[in-house]
Amino acid sequence: MHLKTRGLILKEQNIGERDKLVTVLTEARGTLRAFVHGAKSVKSKKAAATSKFCYAELTLAKTKDSYIIDEARPIEMFFKLRDSLDRLALAEYLLELGFAFSPEEENAKENLRIILNSLYFLCNDTYPPKQLKSVTELRLLSLSGYAPNLVACDRCGCFESTTMYFDMEHGLLYCDNCAPASAPFALPLGLVSAMRHIIFSEIKSLYNFKLDSALLDELSYITETYLLRKAERRFKTLEFYNSVQALG
Ligand SMILES: [Zn+2]
């Protein structure tokens, strides 16, 4: 059976002298692993189109228990990601997020579009990197069913107060009158609005909001901490990104 789909290469691993095994986030089938035969040959046209960070048009053959990439034509290589360590570190984390929060064997068009948009904006300095990071984290969590309930205060239903409080554990929001001790994260209203925007807006306007750099730092901290709680695992690429940030 043959399948044509577009996909972003998330990981690549050499197999023997000539072949490689890649992990791809595809539009049609979510994340999957596929073999690329003869990929190490200098004559291979498939080699570049199946390298990490490449977004490509793929023709896949499905065998009993694996996929094989028959053809690959590059659409976007995101070369500029390699220009700076900051960018590359964040891009690696975005790929790991794509892998962790996308379905297998299911349509993943929206997941793919978010990762691609974030990589594209990162290459072109369209938005601050931390904004791209938070948008990707929170929207992918939402797509995976982990969206916090930020519609209103969980106790009284009030939509907004000057400061609101976030319960990370349960993903709930409280106004300043109702905040229990389990919701120690104070969110200025600007942050609540930004997080609501990331969860509820249409994809085409997903990135369109503006925060000053102090609020952006807070947003990045909140979405990252919430993500780590929900994922219950470490992300090596995030740890590397944060160590690069700490070097300033
Ligand atoms: Zn309340």
Domains of the chain: 2-76 (2.40.50.140), 80-147+183-247 (1.20.1440.120)
- Name the pTM for this structure: 0.95
State residue 182's pLDDT score. Answer: 81
All residue ranges of the chain with pLDDT < 50 are none
State residue 154's pLDDT score. Answer: 96
Distance 149 CA to ligand 1 centre (A): 14
Distance 148 CA to ligand 1 centre (A): 16
Distance 46 CA to ligand 1 centre (A): 57
Distance CA 238, CA 90 (A): 8
Half-sphere CA count of 112, side-chain side, radius 13 A:
25
Distance 157 CA to ligand 1 centre (A): 6
**Cα 62 to the center of its chain, rounded Å:** 27
Q: Evaluate whether 225 touches 168 at the Cβ level (below 8 Å).
A: yes
Beta-carbon contacts of residue 78 (< 8 Å; ≥ 6 apart)? 53, 54, 55, 91, 119, 120, 123
State residue 197's pLDDT score. Answer: 98
Distance CA 208, CA 194 (A): 10
> Tokens 């095994």, residue?
21
State residue 42's pLDDT score. Answer: 67
Distance 154 CA to ligand 1 centre (A): 7
Q: What's the helix, strand, coil split of the chain in %, to 5?
A: 40, 25, 35
